[in-house]
Protein backbone atom coordinates (compact mmCIF):
# COMPACT_ATOMS: atom_id res chain seq x y z
CA UNK A 1 0.00 0.00 0.00
CA UNK A 2 1.42 3.35 -0.96
CA UNK A 3 1.89 5.59 2.05
CA UNK A 4 1.87 9.35 1.68
CA UNK A 5 2.78 12.03 4.13
CA UNK A 6 -0.29 13.57 5.63
CA UNK A 7 -0.93 17.13 6.68
CA UNK A 8 -3.01 17.36 9.80
CA UNK A 9 -4.52 19.90 12.10
CA UNK A 10 -2.36 20.47 15.15
CA UNK A 11 -3.36 21.67 18.57
CA UNK A 12 -0.97 24.36 19.81
CA UNK A 13 -2.33 25.86 22.97
CA UNK A 14 -1.06 27.06 26.30
CA UNK A 15 -3.72 26.25 28.80
CA UNK A 16 -4.36 27.05 32.43
CA UNK A 17 -5.83 24.25 34.49
CA UNK A 18 -8.42 24.65 37.21
CA UNK A 19 -5.69 23.94 39.72
CA UNK A 20 -3.70 26.97 38.56
CA UNK A 21 -0.90 24.99 36.90
CA UNK A 22 0.23 26.15 33.48
CA UNK A 23 0.72 23.40 30.93
CA UNK A 24 2.17 23.89 27.46
CA UNK A 25 0.59 21.48 25.03
CA UNK A 26 2.92 20.30 22.29
CA UNK A 27 2.20 20.99 18.62
CA UNK A 28 3.45 17.65 17.37
CA UNK A 29 5.39 14.65 18.57
CA UNK A 30 8.88 16.03 18.19
CA UNK A 31 8.95 17.48 21.70
CA UNK A 32 10.89 16.02 24.58
CA UNK A 33 7.76 14.59 26.17
CA UNK A 34 6.98 12.37 23.19
CA UNK A 35 7.33 8.64 23.62
CA UNK A 36 8.81 6.35 21.01
CA UNK A 37 7.26 6.65 17.56
CA UNK A 38 7.22 2.89 17.23
CA UNK A 39 5.21 2.20 20.38
CA UNK A 40 2.30 -0.14 19.76
CA UNK A 41 -1.17 1.01 20.84
CA UNK A 42 -2.31 -0.60 24.05
CA UNK A 43 -5.49 -2.61 23.96
CA UNK A 44 -8.28 -0.62 25.56
CA UNK A 45 -12.03 -0.53 25.25
CA UNK A 46 -13.25 -1.83 28.59
CA UNK A 47 -16.73 -0.49 28.02
CA UNK A 48 -18.80 -0.74 31.15
CA UNK A 49 -15.68 -1.09 33.26
CA UNK A 50 -16.61 -2.04 36.81
CA UNK A 51 -13.30 -1.57 38.63
CA UNK A 52 -13.21 2.00 39.86
CA UNK A 53 -10.09 4.05 39.19
CA UNK A 54 -8.42 5.70 42.17
CA UNK A 55 -8.65 9.41 41.37
CA UNK A 56 -6.61 10.69 44.28
CA UNK A 57 -3.22 10.60 42.55
CA UNK A 58 -4.34 11.74 39.09
CA UNK A 59 -3.21 15.10 37.71
CA UNK A 60 -5.67 17.93 37.10
CA UNK A 61 -3.38 19.56 34.52
CA UNK A 62 -5.30 20.42 31.36
CA UNK A 63 -4.06 18.94 28.09
CA UNK A 64 -5.27 19.84 24.60
CA UNK A 65 -5.05 16.82 22.34
CA UNK A 66 -3.75 16.89 18.77
CA UNK A 67 -2.54 13.90 16.80
CA UNK A 68 0.42 15.81 15.34
CA UNK A 69 2.01 15.32 11.93
CA UNK A 70 4.56 12.59 12.54
CA UNK A 71 3.73 9.04 11.46
CA UNK A 72 5.33 5.65 11.90
CA UNK A 73 6.13 3.08 9.22
CA UNK A 74 2.44 2.10 9.10
CA UNK A 75 1.31 5.71 8.57
CA UNK A 76 -0.14 5.81 12.10
CA UNK A 77 0.12 9.19 13.80
CA UNK A 78 2.55 8.90 16.66
CA UNK A 79 0.55 11.37 18.74
CA UNK A 80 -2.33 8.90 18.79
CA UNK A 81 0.00 6.01 19.64
CA UNK A 82 1.53 8.06 22.45
CA UNK A 83 -1.91 8.88 23.83
CA UNK A 84 -2.81 5.19 23.99
CA UNK A 85 0.46 4.33 25.69
CA UNK A 86 0.00 7.07 28.30
CA UNK A 87 -3.73 6.90 29.00
CA UNK A 88 -4.90 3.44 27.99
CA UNK A 89 -4.99 2.48 31.66
CA UNK A 90 -7.63 5.19 32.11
CA UNK A 91 -9.89 3.51 29.52
CA UNK A 92 -9.00 6.05 26.83
CA UNK A 93 -7.77 5.68 23.27
CA UNK A 94 -7.02 7.71 20.14
CA UNK A 95 -6.37 4.81 17.76
CA UNK A 96 -7.57 1.22 17.52
CA UNK A 97 -5.34 -1.83 17.60
CA UNK A 98 -6.71 -3.49 14.45
CA UNK A 99 -6.41 -2.88 10.70
CA UNK A 100 -9.77 -1.22 10.10
CA UNK A 101 -10.84 2.38 9.56
CA UNK A 102 -13.36 4.02 11.91
CA UNK A 103 -15.43 7.10 11.10
CA UNK A 104 -16.57 9.45 13.85
CA UNK A 105 -18.57 12.65 13.49
CA UNK A 106 -18.84 15.42 16.06
CA UNK A 107 -22.39 16.80 16.15
CA UNK A 108 -22.40 20.08 18.01
CA UNK A 109 -25.33 21.42 16.03
CA UNK A 110 -27.31 20.56 12.91
CA UNK A 111 -26.30 22.28 9.70
CA UNK A 112 -28.49 20.40 7.24
CA UNK A 113 -25.95 17.77 6.14
CA UNK A 114 -26.55 14.87 8.50
CA UNK A 115 -29.36 13.35 6.45
CA UNK A 116 -27.13 13.14 3.37
CA UNK A 117 -24.25 11.75 5.45
CA UNK A 118 -26.57 9.04 6.75
CA UNK A 119 -27.74 8.34 3.20
CA UNK A 120 -24.15 7.83 2.02
CA UNK A 121 -23.25 5.62 4.97
CA UNK A 122 -26.32 3.49 4.32
CA UNK A 123 -25.55 3.20 0.61
CA UNK A 124 -21.91 2.28 1.28
CA UNK A 125 -22.80 -0.03 4.19
CA UNK A 126 -20.51 1.78 6.63
CA UNK A 127 -21.24 2.34 10.32
CA UNK A 128 -20.04 5.44 12.14
CA UNK A 129 -20.02 6.96 15.60
CA UNK A 130 -21.85 10.26 16.09
CA UNK A 131 -20.78 12.21 19.18
CA UNK A 132 -23.77 14.33 20.21
CA UNK A 133 -24.41 17.13 22.63
CA UNK A 134 -27.62 16.84 24.62
CA UNK A 135 -29.04 19.91 22.88
CA UNK A 136 -28.60 18.15 19.55
CA UNK A 137 -30.43 15.07 20.77
CA UNK A 138 -33.26 17.24 22.07
CA UNK A 139 -33.68 19.25 18.85
CA UNK A 140 -33.15 16.52 16.24
CA UNK A 141 -35.02 13.41 17.40
CA UNK A 142 -35.68 12.09 13.88
CA UNK A 143 -31.99 12.15 12.96
CA UNK A 144 -30.93 10.62 16.27
CA UNK A 145 -33.52 7.87 15.94
CA UNK A 146 -32.28 7.19 12.42
CA UNK A 147 -28.67 6.91 13.68
CA UNK A 148 -29.77 4.33 16.20
CA UNK A 149 -32.10 2.42 13.89
CA UNK A 150 -29.47 2.17 11.15
CA UNK A 151 -26.90 0.66 13.49
CA UNK A 152 -24.61 3.59 14.14
CA UNK A 153 -23.10 4.33 17.54
CA UNK A 154 -24.30 7.40 19.39
CA UNK A 155 -21.56 8.80 21.58
CA UNK A 156 -21.70 11.21 24.52
CA UNK A 157 -20.13 14.63 23.87
CA UNK A 158 -21.51 16.06 27.16
CA UNK A 159 -24.47 18.23 28.04
CA UNK A 160 -22.98 21.73 27.62
CA UNK A 161 -19.63 21.33 25.77
CA UNK A 162 -17.60 22.54 28.74
CA UNK A 163 -13.89 21.82 28.98
CA UNK A 164 -13.89 18.79 31.25
CA UNK A 165 -10.62 19.51 33.12
CA UNK A 166 -12.02 22.88 34.17
CA UNK A 167 -14.75 21.12 36.13
CA UNK A 168 -14.80 19.49 39.52
CA UNK A 169 -15.62 15.80 39.88
CA UNK A 170 -19.33 16.30 40.50
CA UNK A 171 -19.65 18.64 37.52
CA UNK A 172 -17.80 16.21 35.25
CA UNK A 173 -20.09 13.42 36.32
CA UNK A 174 -23.17 15.57 35.74
CA UNK A 175 -22.07 16.48 32.20
CA UNK A 176 -21.79 12.79 31.36
CA UNK A 177 -24.52 11.19 33.44
CA UNK A 178 -27.29 13.70 32.76
CA UNK A 179 -27.00 13.19 29.00
CA UNK A 180 -26.65 9.44 29.55
CA UNK A 181 -29.95 9.45 31.42
CA UNK A 182 -31.61 11.62 28.76
CA UNK A 183 -30.68 9.16 26.00
CA UNK A 184 -31.86 6.21 28.07
CA UNK A 185 -35.14 7.85 29.02
CA UNK A 186 -35.99 9.26 25.59
CA UNK A 187 -34.42 6.79 23.15
CA UNK A 188 -33.96 3.68 25.31
CA UNK A 189 -30.32 3.86 24.22
CA UNK A 190 -27.29 3.27 26.44
CA UNK A 191 -24.22 5.28 25.47
CA UNK A 192 -20.78 3.84 26.25
CA UNK A 193 -18.23 6.13 24.54
CA UNK A 194 -17.33 9.72 25.37
CA UNK A 195 -15.41 12.39 23.48
CA UNK A 196 -14.34 15.33 25.64
CA UNK A 197 -15.31 18.70 24.19
CA UNK A 198 -12.49 20.42 22.27
CA UNK A 199 -10.31 17.38 22.87
CA UNK A 200 -9.35 18.81 26.26
CA UNK A 201 -8.73 16.46 29.16
CA UNK A 202 -6.70 15.77 32.27
CA UNK A 203 -5.74 12.49 33.87
CA UNK A 204 -8.40 13.24 36.47
CA UNK A 205 -11.17 13.90 33.93
CA UNK A 206 -10.28 10.70 32.08
CA UNK A 207 -10.50 8.82 35.37
CA UNK A 208 -13.87 10.35 36.20
CA UNK A 209 -15.13 9.42 32.72
CA UNK A 210 -13.97 5.84 33.15
CA UNK A 211 -15.64 5.63 36.55
CA UNK A 212 -18.90 6.70 34.87
CA UNK A 213 -18.63 3.51 32.82
CA UNK A 214 -17.38 5.20 29.66
CA UNK A 215 -14.49 4.75 27.29
CA UNK A 216 -12.89 8.02 26.12
CA UNK A 217 -12.40 8.04 22.35
CA UNK A 218 -10.28 10.73 20.71
CA UNK A 219 -8.93 10.42 17.14
CA UNK A 220 -5.85 9.63 15.10
CA UNK A 221 -6.68 11.96 12.21
CA UNK A 222 -8.53 15.26 11.89
CA UNK A 223 -8.22 18.26 9.61
CA UNK A 224 -9.58 21.79 9.28
CA UNK A 225 -13.17 21.03 8.31
CA UNK A 226 -15.23 22.78 11.00
CA UNK A 227 -15.41 26.39 9.78
CA UNK A 228 -18.67 26.53 7.84
CA UNK A 229 -17.67 29.89 6.34
CA UNK A 230 -14.28 28.69 5.13
CA UNK A 231 -14.74 25.19 3.81
CA UNK A 232 -11.66 23.41 2.43
CA UNK A 233 -11.25 22.49 -1.22
CA UNK A 234 -12.96 19.21 -2.04
CA UNK A 235 -10.20 17.71 -4.19
CA UNK A 236 -7.48 18.61 -1.69
CA UNK A 237 -9.53 17.35 1.24
CA UNK A 238 -10.24 14.05 -0.47
CA UNK A 239 -6.52 13.55 -1.12
CA UNK A 240 -5.70 14.36 2.51
CA UNK A 241 -8.28 11.98 3.92
CA UNK A 242 -7.38 9.04 1.71
CA UNK A 243 -3.61 9.48 2.09
CA UNK A 244 -4.00 9.65 5.87
CA UNK A 245 -5.48 6.13 6.08
CA UNK A 246 -3.71 3.82 8.50
CA UNK A 247 -4.44 0.66 10.49
CA UNK A 248 -6.85 1.34 13.35
CA UNK A 249 -7.50 4.90 12.19
CA UNK A 250 -10.14 6.91 14.02
CA UNK A 251 -11.17 9.80 11.78
CA UNK A 252 -12.72 12.90 13.31
CA UNK A 253 -15.02 14.65 10.85
CA UNK A 254 -17.49 17.43 11.55
CA UNK A 255 -20.97 16.90 10.18
CA UNK A 256 -21.48 20.64 9.71
CA UNK A 257 -18.97 20.53 6.85
CA UNK A 258 -20.30 20.80 3.30
CA UNK A 259 -16.98 19.49 1.99
CA UNK A 260 -17.09 16.36 4.12
CA UNK A 261 -20.63 15.67 3.00
CA UNK A 262 -19.85 16.07 -0.69
CA UNK A 263 -16.68 13.91 -0.68
CA UNK A 264 -17.78 11.24 1.79
CA UNK A 265 -18.78 8.64 -0.81
CA UNK A 266 -15.55 9.10 -2.79
CA UNK A 267 -13.54 8.96 0.42
CA UNK A 268 -15.09 5.64 1.41
CA UNK A 269 -14.47 4.24 -2.08
CA UNK A 270 -10.88 5.51 -2.09
CA UNK A 271 -10.04 3.98 1.28
CA UNK A 272 -11.54 0.67 0.25
CA UNK A 273 -9.56 0.79 -3.01
CA UNK A 274 -6.41 1.18 -0.87
CA UNK A 275 -7.23 -2.16 0.77
CA UNK A 276 -8.89 -1.08 4.01
CA UNK A 277 -12.14 -2.18 5.58
CA UNK A 278 -14.35 -0.04 7.80
CA UNK A 279 -15.03 -0.96 11.40
Q: Is 106 a catalytic residue?
A: yes
Is residue 230 assigned to a domain? yes
pLDDT score of 50: 53
Does this model's pTM top 0.75? My answer is yes
Query: According to the model, what pLDDT value does residue 100 have?
Result: 98
Q: Do the domain assignments include residue 251?
A: yes
Helices (H) and strands (E) in the chain, counts: 8, 12
Residue 235's contacts (CB-CB under 8 Å, 6 or more residues apart) are: none
From the candidates 60, 157, 246, 254, give the one annotated as an active-site residue: 254
Phi, psi dihedrals of residue 92, rounded to the nearest 5°: -135, 145
Q: What is the CATH number of the domain that holds 134?
A: 3.20.20.370
Could you read off the pLDDT tens digit of each residue along the chain, which spans 279 residues?
433 333 333 333 333 232 322 232 322 323 323 333 333 333 334 444 457 999 999 999 999 999 999 999 999 999 999 999 999 999 999 999 999 999 999 999 999 999 999 999 999 999 999 999 999 999 999 999 999 999 999 999 999 999 999 999 999 999 999 999 999 999 999 999 999 999 999 999 999 999 999 999 999 999 999 999 999 999 999 999 999 999 999 999 999 999 999 999 999 999 999 999 999
Residue 246 lies in a domain: yes
Q: What is the per-residue pLDDT for 86?
A: 98
For residues 235 and 38, what is the distance between their CA atoms, to the nearest angstrom? 31
114 lies in a domain? yes
Q: Which of 61, 82, 106, 225 is catalytic?
A: 106
Q: How many domains does the chain have?
A: 1
Domain that holds residue 157: 77-273
Confirm whether 254 is a catalytic residue: yes
Is residue 38 a part of any domain in this protein? no
In a domain, 71, yes or no: no
Measure the CA–CA gap between 14 and 32, rounded to whole angstroms: 16
Q: What is the pLDDT of residue 3?
A: 37
- Note whether 116 and 261 are within 8 A (CB): yes
Q: Which residues contact 165 (CB under 8 A, 6 or more apart)?
A: 17, 18, 60, 61, 62, 63, 200, 201, 202, 204, 205
Res 51: pLDDT: 79
Distance CA 98, CA 160 (A): 33
Comparing CA positions, the residue from 58, 59, 61, 95 lying closest to residue 220 is 95
Q: Confirm whether 56 is domain-assigned.
A: no
How many Å apart are CA 103 and CA 215, to the nearest integer?
Answer: 16
pLDDT attached to residue 12: 33
Quick one: which H or E segment has residue 129? strand 128-132
In a domain, 42, yes or no: no
Amino acid sequence: MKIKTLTAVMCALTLLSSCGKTVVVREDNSGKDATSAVVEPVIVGKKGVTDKIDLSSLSHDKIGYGQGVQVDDKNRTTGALDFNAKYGNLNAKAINDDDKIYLTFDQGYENGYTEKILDVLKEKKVKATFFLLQDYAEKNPELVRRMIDEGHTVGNHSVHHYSMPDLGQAECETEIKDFHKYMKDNYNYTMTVFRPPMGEFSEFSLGVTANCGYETVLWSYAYADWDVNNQPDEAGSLEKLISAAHPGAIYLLHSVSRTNTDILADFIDGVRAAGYKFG
